[in-house]
Every structure is written in structure tokens, then in C-alpha cells.
């Protein structure tokens, strides 16, 4: 299963430069890196990144993240993937820009 993380461009640039990240400020505060499934990621973008441009959508294969990936209840009781270790650049299957359109973020066709 592919899971997704949205980064602001400076957070992404830091991950690329360092080769790893503990996540965004919200991740640091919560003690884990927040991910979303394909069914959750658009709502995540609308709720937490509304009006923000210059974002990066990152995809990871959940199976390769190992036992540090936990599925825990969050928004509306739905299970969300949370990573309890640094995210390594090598964990990322692909990344793409997540531009802001007139009616919200424009996701890759594979997620729409």
C-alpha cells in the first residue's frame, strides 16, 4: 500500500539536503510523522494546507517502512499511518509538486 506525506517546500528541501527528516513542526510536536492513505490525503491537504502553494507530495510503500509504522485512530476515528522514526530519503518511492489550483490542490491523476 502506498501512503502519502505532504511537505512544505523548505521542509522538503531540508529532507533532500540532510537525507532524512523528523518531519514538520506538527510531527515533531506529536512525536511521529503523519502520513495519509490515498483516500485521506486530499482531505489532509484541504484541512492542514488550505491556501498553501509550493507543496511537495511524497509517496512511500508502507510495507518498506517496517514496524515503526503504526496505524492509529485520528480524524473521525479513521486509522492513519504514523511513522515513529526518521523518514529517510531512501524510503520515498516518488515525489511530485502539489500545486494550488482555483478550487484546491491539484493531485496526480492516479489519486483523483
Q: How many structural domains comprise the chain?
A: 1
State the pLDDT at residue 76: 85
Tell whether 111 is covered by a domain.
Answer: no
The answer to whether the CB of 41 falls within 8 A of the CB of 111 is yes
pLDDT tens readout for residues 7-60: 999 999 999 999 999 999 999 999 999 999 999 999 999 999 999 999 999 999
In whole angstroms, give the CA distance from residue 96 to residue 54: 10
In 10 A of CB 112, how many CB atoms?
A: 8
Q: What span, in angstroms and rounded, lies between the C-alpha atoms of 96 and 2? A: 14
Among 111, 98, 94, 97, smallest CA distance to 51 is for 98
In a domain? residue 110: no
CATH at 48: 3.20.170.20
Please say if the pLDDT value at position 74 is more than 90. no
Whole-model pTM: value is 0.95
Half-sphere exposure for 58 (CA within 13 Å, toward CB) = 23
Residue 24 lies in a domain: yes
The whole-number pLDDT of residue 105 equals 96
Range of the domain at 77: 2-104
What percentage of the chain exceeds 70 in pLDDT?
100
Confidence band, pLDDT 50/70/90 cuts, at residue 75: confident
What is the predicted pLDDT for the residue at 112? Answer: 72
Amino acid at each position: 500500500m502506498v501512503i502519502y506525506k505532504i511537505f512544505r517546500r523548505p521542509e522538503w528541501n531540508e529532507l533532500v539536503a540532510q537525507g532524512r527528516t523528523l518531519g514538520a513542526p506538527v510531527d515533531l510536536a506529536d512525536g511521529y510523522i503523519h502520513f495519509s492513505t490515498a483516500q485521506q490525503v486530499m482531505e489532509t491537504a484541504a484541512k492542514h494546507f488550505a491556501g498553501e502553494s509550493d507543496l511537495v507530495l511524497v509517496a512511500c510503500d508502507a510495507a518498506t517502512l517496517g514496524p515503526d509504522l503504526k496505524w492509529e485512530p485520528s480524524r473521525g476515528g479513521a486509522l492513519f499511518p504514523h511513522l515513529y522514526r526518521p523518514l529517510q530519503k531512501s524510503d520515498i518511492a516518488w515525489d511530485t509538486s502539489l500545486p494550488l489550483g482555483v478550487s484546491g490542490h491539484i493531485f496526480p491523476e492516479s489519486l483523483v
